[in-house]
């Protein structure tokens, strides 16, 4: 990939993502607990939310509707250490409540880093 610009992938749901940094190891799968850092903003480039080091990361289980559909879909299939830029259409960013600064019709841009895939404890 040296010298090539990252390729933007569009999924069937309309999510667009670009791998900014490759990860390693196993792929994150539905049902696994994952740990991420993320930032969120508008297409214009204005960022309005960020959870990054040294803040505690976000933990959730893939496929359990604990985060918006766009983030859930994008993190599924990522490897630890991978960073993706996401362009999330309104249909994939539905929430129960919207903060004042966020419109239901907004296309959002995320940067997501997969920090860890948690192993199930038996």
- Could you read off the pLDDT of 89-116 as tens digits, one per residue? 999 988 777 677 777 788 999 999 999 9
Question: Cα 94–112–10 angle (5° rounding)?
Answer: 65
- Could you read off the pLDDT of 23-55 as tens digits, one per residue? 999 999 999 999 999 999 988 888 888 888 888
The CATH number given to whatever domain includes residue 65 is: 3.10.50.40
Domain range for 47 is: 8-117
User: pTM value?
Assistant: 0.88
Q: Write down the pLDDT at residue 119.
A: 81
- Band the pLDDT of 1: cuts 50, 70, 90: very low
Q: Give the residue from 44, 32, 27 showing the smallest Cα distance to 84.
A: 27
CA 23 to CA 42: how far, in whole Å? 26
CA 79 to CA 68: how far, in whole Å? 19
| pLDDT of 61 higher than 60 | yes
Is 67 domain-assigned? Answer: yes
Is 2 domain-assigned? Answer: no
- Could you read off the pLDDT of 70-84 as tens digits, one per residue? 999 999 999 999 999
Number of domains composing the chain = 1
Q: Give the residue from 30, 7, 27 showing the smallest Cα distance to 19.
A: 7
Is 3 domain-assigned? Answer: no
DSSP-assigned letters across all residues of 64-114: SSSS-HHHHHHHTT-EET-EEEEEE-GGG---SS--TT--TT--EEEEEEE
């Amino acid at each position: 990939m040296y010298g090539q610009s990252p390729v933007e992938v569009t999924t069937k749901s309309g999510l667009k993502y670009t791998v900014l940094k490759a990860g390693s190891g196993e792929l994150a799968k539905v049902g696994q607990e994952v740990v991420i850092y993320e930032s969120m903003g508008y297409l214009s480039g204005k960022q309005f939310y960020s959870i990054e080091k040294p803040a505690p990361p976000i933990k959730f289980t893939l496929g359990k509707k604990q985060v918006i559909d766009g983030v859930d879909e994008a993190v599924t299939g990522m490897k630890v250490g991978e960073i993706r830029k996401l362009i999330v259409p309104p249909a994939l960013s539905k929430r129960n409540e919207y903060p004042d600064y966020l419109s239901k019709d907004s296309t959002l841009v995320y940067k997501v880093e997969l920090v860890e895939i948690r192993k199930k404890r038996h």
